[in-house]
A and B are shown apart, each in its own frame.
Chain A
Amino acid sequence: SQTIHQWPATLVQPVGSPLSLECTVEGTSNPNLYWYRQAAGRGLQLLFYSVGIGQISSEVPQNLSASRPQDRQFILSSKKLLLSDSGFYLCAWTVGLAGVEQYFGPGTRLTVT
């Protein structure tokens, strides 16, 4: 069966510090991978998606970046965090065309202080 992992589960970082969140998927090949952010009282916002290794599409301009060094690994990074980067970050995956199930990871709660 397929499993999606995210770590860390929670993170408190000072403003201006770097960020690296990791997401890995097990039990499937060539998934579409997604990074979302959910701010308090807001809907999930798509940040990045990837349809293959090294292929990253950015949905919202910001100080975050994403990379996909391996087929089932998706990394969200920042060189300098802002207070506005605080939120709940979710990784998700699908396989195939639109209309199929999108599975979410457990999320990372990021607080920038």
Chain B
Amino acid sequence: KNQVEQSPQSLIILEGKNCTLQCNYTVSPFSNLRWYKQDTGRGPVSLTIMTFSENTKSNGRYTATLDADTKQSSLHITASQLSDSASYICVVGEKGGGNKLTFGTGTQLKVEL
């Protein structure tokens, strides 16, 4: 069964600090890995998409890494801001028709003053 596991489940950091979120997956056949940011009560918004051949991708203060051999990914957030408070969801796409995705349960990040 395809699964995506994320850690930690929740995290509280002070504004301006960095943090790293982890994702392990068992999706096969692997096509791509995405990180989404979801504000409460809103739809997810994509941060990064990486394919098998990519091992790092940045989007502003967000940097995602991918190790396809160990099936692990991380999302690093630098110089956190209050607006970074959200759920960060790791999502893995399968090869094949329909562009099907398997979602992790997310890491709930809270940035405080």
Contacts and interface: CB of A to CB of B under 8 A. Distances in A.
Given A98-B32, A99-B32, A107 B42 contact: yes
Contact of A98 (B41, B44, B46, B99): B99
Given A98-B32, A98-B94, A32 B45 contact: no
Given A97-B99, A100-B99, A101-B49, A106 B42 contact: yes
What's the interface size class on A, roughly? 20 to 34
B45 A104 contact: yes
Interface in B19-43: 31-32, 34, 41-43
A101 to B, nearest CB: 6
A7 B101 CA distance: 23
Contacts of B66: none
Interface of B: 4, 31-32, 34, 41-46, 49, 51, 89, 93-101, 103-106
